[in-house]
A and B are shown apart, each in its own frame.
Chain A
Amino acid sequence: MPRPRLLFSLSMLLLAMGLPKVHADEPAAAGIAAAAAQTDLASLLASLPDASYADKQGLIRKMAELPDPKVRDVLKAMLEDGLYVRTSDNHIFIGQVDGDTVKLTDPLSGQAAGAESSDAVTTVGVNNQLRKVLRVALGQLDLNDPDAGVRLRAVREMLRALNAEGQTVLRARLDLERDAEVKREIEVGLALADLDSADAAVRLAAVRKLSSSLNPDVYNRLSAMVQVSTDGTYGDSDAAVRTSAQDSLRVIERYRTLYGAIQTFIYGLSQGSVLVLAAIGLAITFGVMGVINMAHGELMMLGAYTTYVVQRLMPTHIGASIIVAIPVAFLVSGLAGIAIERGIVRHLYGRPLETLLATFGVSLILQQAVRDIFSANNRPVITPDWLAGTLQINDVLAITYNRLYIIIFTFALFLGLLAVLKRTRLGLEVRAVSQNREMAKAMGIRTAWVDALTFGLGSGIAGIAGVALSQLTNVGPNLGQSYIVDSFMVVVFGGVGNLWGTEVSGNALGIVNKLLEPYAGAVLAKIFVLVFLILFIQWKPRGLFPQKGRNADG
C-alpha cells in the first residue's frame, strides 16, 4: 500500500514544517542532531536509556514522526511509567507490574519477552515537561490516524486543554483535514480559542464563525460575552463584537428551540408507542370483540417473562434472543389467551361486567403464578448491544436507539395487525363476526372458532408488546398492572373498534405527556392526562374516531 503511506509521510513532513519554532527553542539541539541520523525505532529506542531529559524530548519527537504504528504503544507506555530498561543489557521493554515481577513485552516485535523481578529493571524516567511533550506527540499521532473517529477523539482531547502548541498543531491539521466533522470540530475549537484574543478583529471573525455552532461551550462563551456584570462592564469590551455575538446567539437559540421541539416530539412518540403497544392487543379483544380483558396486562407480562426465559436458554446469543423471543412470546401469550377465551370468556358473552371480574381473577392467578415460579423480584433481561447506545445527531439532539426502535417496532406491529385484519381470510371473518354474529353464522363461519382465534391474536400481540416492554421497564409480577388503566384509556380515547384510533390516540397522549412534563413533572403530567381523558369521554363517549353505522350503538 504505497499511496496511503506516501500521504502519511507527506502529512508528517508538513506537520514538522509547522513546528520549526518550537524545535529551535529546545536547549539540547546538539543531542537532536546526533539522533536525527537514526531513523528507525530500534535505534531511537536504543539511545533512550542513556538520554538526559532534554535528549528524551528530541527522541520522542523523532519517534512521533516515524510512520510506525508501534510508536504509539511505546509513547503511551512511557507516559504511564510503563516503559522499562533491563539493567543487564540496557534493552527497552514495555512492562506490566505483576506483584514483585514485571511482565515484559518487546516493543519492536510485540512478542512477550518473559518476566523479570522488579529489581532487574528500571523505568524510563519522565518529568512533567516530558509528559507534556508526550501528550502532544500522542495527540499528533492520533491526529494523523487514517480513522476519522480516532482523529475526532484526538481533536476533542486536545481541545480540552488547548495551549499555544496545540493550536499550532490544529491549525496545520485544519488545512489537511478532509473529514467534514473533524474539520468542523477543529474550526469551532480554534474559534473558541480566538475569542480570548486581545485583537477585537480576531474576536469578531471568531464570533462570526461560531454563528451556527450548537456546541454548548460556544453558547456559554457567547452568552458570557454579552452579559453585563454588576459594575456595568460587558463580558466583551468591543461593541461590534457584542452585536455580532448577540446575532450569533439568536441564531443558535433558534436552532436549539427547534431541536428541543424535535426531541420532545420523538420522546413523546416513543412514550406514546409504549402506550400503543400496551393497547393494541386490547384494541382487538376489547375493540373488535367487546370483551373486557383485565388480564391483558398479565399477558404482556407473560411475553416479557418469555423473553427472560429465551435469554436464559441461549445465553451466548443475546443479540438474537430478542428476535427469537418475539414469535415465542406470541405463541405463549396467544395460547394463554385462547385458554382464557375457551375456559371463561365464552361463557360470559353479553355480560361485559362479569367478564371484567372473571378476567381480573385470571390476572391475579397469573401474577401469583409468576411470583411462585420466578420469585417476586424483578428478573434481569439483558439489552442486546444493537439496542443500546445513542444516536447523536448534533450537539443538542441525541436520541437513544431503544426509543427509535420502539417507534419503528410499534408501527410495524400496527401495520402487520392491520394487514391481518384487512387482507387475510381470518381478518375478514373476524370483522364479519364482530359486525353481525348471526349473519356470519348463517354464512357458514364457525363463530366459536373465530372468537377463540381473535382472542388469541389479541393476546399474542400483547405477548409481543411484552417482549418490547422487557427492554424498557422492569420485568416483574406487577408489570402488567401498571399498564392496564392506561391501555384501556387509550383504546376508549381512540374510539373502540378502531385500530387507527388506537395508534393515533396512543401517540397523541404520549406527546401531550412529554409536553407537560417539563412544566408539571412526570406524575402530575400523568394525572393531567388522566383527568383530561375522563373529561374527554364525557364530551365524546365514543372516542376520537367513533364507529359509524348501525352496529356502532353499543
Chain B
Amino acid sequence: MAENIWRDLAAALRDDRAGQRLLYTLLAVSVLVPLLNLGVGQTSWLHVTNYSMTLIAKYMSYAMLALAVDLIWGYCGILSLGHGAFFSLGGYAMGMYLMRQIGDRGVYGNPLLPDFMVFLNWKELPWFWHGFQSFPYAISMVVLVPATLALVFGFLAFRSRVSGVYLSIITQALTYALMLAFFRNDMGFGGNNGFTDFKDILGFNLQAPGTRVSLFLCTALALAGSYVSCRYVVASRAGRVIEAIRDAESRARFLGYRVESYKLWVFVLSAILAGVAGALYVPQVGIINPSEFSPVNSIEIVIWVAIGGRGTLYGAVVGAFLVNFAKTYLTGAFPSIWLYGLGALFIVVTLFLQYGVVGAIGQWRRSRLRRATT
C-alpha cells in the first residue's frame, strides 16, 4: 500500500516538469534565504533582512492558501469566496496557543488569562480555551476546526446540490458571518484587536534568529508538502473523477460516481490546507484579527489563482507570489495605484488571460515550438 503511494507520487511528479522546477526553486530558496540571513553580515549587499525573510514566508503561506483554492476551483469547479475563513480559523487556533504561551508575561501578569480577558474583567478561562496550552492539541485544532466547518458546510451544501454562483455567495456569507462574530468581544477571541504580542513558540523566542529561520523552513516544507499532496490527489484516479465533476457534473453522477462525496472530501482537504497555511502565517506575522475574515480577502485569494493560472497547481503558487509581491511593492511606492492595479488585473485576467500567466507562457512556448517544427 505504502509502496503504491510512493510509486504513484513519483509517477505524478515525473510528468510534472513545472512542478519539479517549483520544488527545486523552493529547495534553493530554503537553503539560500536562511544562509544569507544568518551567515552574511548585515552590511553586505547579499544579506537578506529579517523583514524580507518574513515577507517571503508570508508569501509562501499565501501560496499554500492559493493551492487550496486551486484544488477546489481549478480542479473541481467550486468557487469558494470564503476560503479566508478556513485560513483565519487555522490562524486563530495557532494564535490561541501562542496567547497561552505568553503566560504571566502579559501586561496584566495574569498567569492563566490572556490580557484582553483581564481587560474585559473575565474571571475564568472559557471552555474552548482549555487545552490550547498544549502544542499538539493546538496543532490538531488547526486541522480539525477548519476541517469540521468544511465538513458540515460542504455536507449540507453539496447534498442539496447548491452549486455555481449560489455556492460562491453562501461561502461569502459564511466568512462574513464569522467576521462579524469574531469582531464581538464576548466571543472570547479578543474582539477587533484579535491576538498579538506573541512571545514564544514551543519555548523558543519568536524574535530569535534561530526560531525565525526554523519557521521559515517549516513554511517552505509545508508548501512543498502541500504541492506534492495536491499533485498526488489530482493525478490519482479520484482526481480524474473530480475533474470530470468540474466539466460535467450530471454526467459524472449518471456514470455512478458519488459526486457529493468527492466534492466533500476535496473541499475538506482544501480547508485543512488553508488552516495549516493560517497557522504558519500567524507566528511569523505576529498578529491575527477578524479583518482576515473579510470577504474581500477571500476574493483576493481567487485572483491570485486566476492570475497564476487555475487548474495547474504551480500556477496558483506563481500567482500568489506575483500578486503579493506587486501588492507589497505598489502599496509602498504608489498607495493609490494599487487598487486600480488590482481591479484592472481582475478584469484583464478574466477577459484576456483565461489560463493565467502560466497558461499564457505555455501558449507562447507551444506556438514557438510549432513555428520551429514547420
Give A residues with C-beta under 8 Å from B: 292, 294, 344, 347-348, 352-358, 360-365, 367-369, 371-372, 481, 484-485, 488-489, 492, 523-524, 526-527, 530-531, 533-535, 537-539, 541, 554
Contacts and interface: CB of A to CB of B under 8 A. Distances in A.
Contacts of A535: 156
A534 B351 CA distance: 31
17 contacts: A292-B165, A294-B299, A348-B350, A353-B164, A355-B350, A357-B299, A357-B349, A357-B350, A358-B350, A361-B343, A361-B347, A361-B350, A362-B347, A485-B176, A485-B295, A523-B183, A537-B166
B343 A368 contact: yes
Contact of A364 (B172, B295, B306, B342): B342
Given A541-B162, A554-B164, A524 B346 contact: no
Contacts of A541: 160-162, 166
B169 interface: yes
A466 to B, nearest CB: 20
Given A347-B351, A357-B302, A364-B346, A534 B339 contact: no
A361 B345 contact: yes
Contacts of A554: 164
Interface in B282-331: 295-296, 299, 302-303, 306
Given A361-B346, A362-B347, 7 more contacts: A356-B168, A367-B339, A368-B339, A485-B173, A526-B180, A527-B177, A538-B160
A534 B174 contact: yes
A533 B347 contact: no
A348 B354 CA distance: 11
Nearest to B345: A361
Contacts of B170: 492, 533-534, 537
B350 A354 contact: yes
A523 B180 contact: yes
Interface centre among A360, A484, A531 (most CB of B within 10 A): A360
Contacts of B295: 484-485
Given A481-B296, A485-B176, A356 B165 contact: yes
Nearest to A522: B180
Interface in B175-225: 176-177, 180-181, 183-184
Contact of B343 (A348, A365, A481): A365
Given A372-B336, A523-B180, A358 B346 contact: yes
Contacts of B159: 538
Contacts of A530: 173-174, 176-177, 180
Contacts of A484: 295
Nearest to A534: B170
Nearest to A554: B164
Interface centre among A347, A354, A535 (most CB of B within 10 A): A354
Q: Do most interface residues of chain A lie in helix, strand or loop, or is the interface mixed?
A: helix
Given A344-B351, A356-B168, A530-B173, A364 B180 contact: no
A527 B349 CA distance: 34
A360 B350 CA distance: 11
B181 A527 contact: yes
A28 B148 CA distance: 91
A365 B177 contact: no
A534 B343 contact: no
B139 to A, nearest CB: 28
A394 to B, nearest CB: 36
A535 B152 CA distance: 11
Interface in B341-363: 342-347, 349-351, 354
B67 interface: no
B180 A353 contact: no
A447 B344 CA distance: 28
A283 to B, nearest CB: 14
A353 B345 CA distance: 15
Nearest to A488: B169
Nearest to A530: B177
B248 to A, nearest CB: 15
Interface of B: 79, 153, 156-157, 159-162, 164-166, 168-170, 172-174, 176-177, 180-181, 183-184, 295-296, 299, 302-303, 306, 336, 339-340, 342-347, 349-351, 354
Nearest to A376: B336
A488 B299 CA distance: 15
A63 to B, nearest CB: 62
Contacts of B302: 357
A367 B184 CA distance: 27
Contacts of A367: 339
A361 B184 CA distance: 30
A358 B303 contact: no
Contacts of B345: 361
A365 B344 contact: yes
Question: What 8 pairs across the A-B complex have the smallest Cβ distances?
Answer: A361-B346, A364-B343, A365-B343, A368-B339, A530-B177, A361-B343, A358-B350, A538-B156
B177 A531 contact: yes
Interface centre among A367, A371, A485, A530 (most CB of B within 10 A): A485
Contact of B346 (A357, A488, A523): A357
Contact of B168 (A353, A363, A369): A353
A490 to B, nearest CB: 11
Contact of B184 (A481, A488, A523): A523
Contacts of B153: 534
Contacts of A526: 177, 180
B165 A353 contact: yes
A541 B168 CA distance: 13
Nearest to B155: A538
A484 B169 CA distance: 10
Contacts of A354: 350, 354
Contacts of A356: 79, 165, 168
A207 to B, nearest CB: 44
Nearest to B161: A541
A92 B162 CA distance: 86
A360 B79 contact: no
A481 B173 CA distance: 13
Contacts of B299: 294, 357, 360
A360 B162 contact: no
A347 B160 CA distance: 31
A455 to B, nearest CB: 16
Contacts of B346: 357-358, 360-362, 364
B40 to A, nearest CB: 39
Given A348-B351, A523-B184, A371 B336 contact: yes
Contacts of A361: 342-347, 350
Nearest to A365: B343
B366 to A, nearest CB: 23
Contacts of B340: 364-365, 368-369
A292 B336 CA distance: 27
A535 B177 CA distance: 13
B210 to A, nearest CB: 41
A533 B157 CA distance: 12
B339 A364 contact: yes
Contact of B79 (A353, A362, A489): A353
A531 B180 CA distance: 12
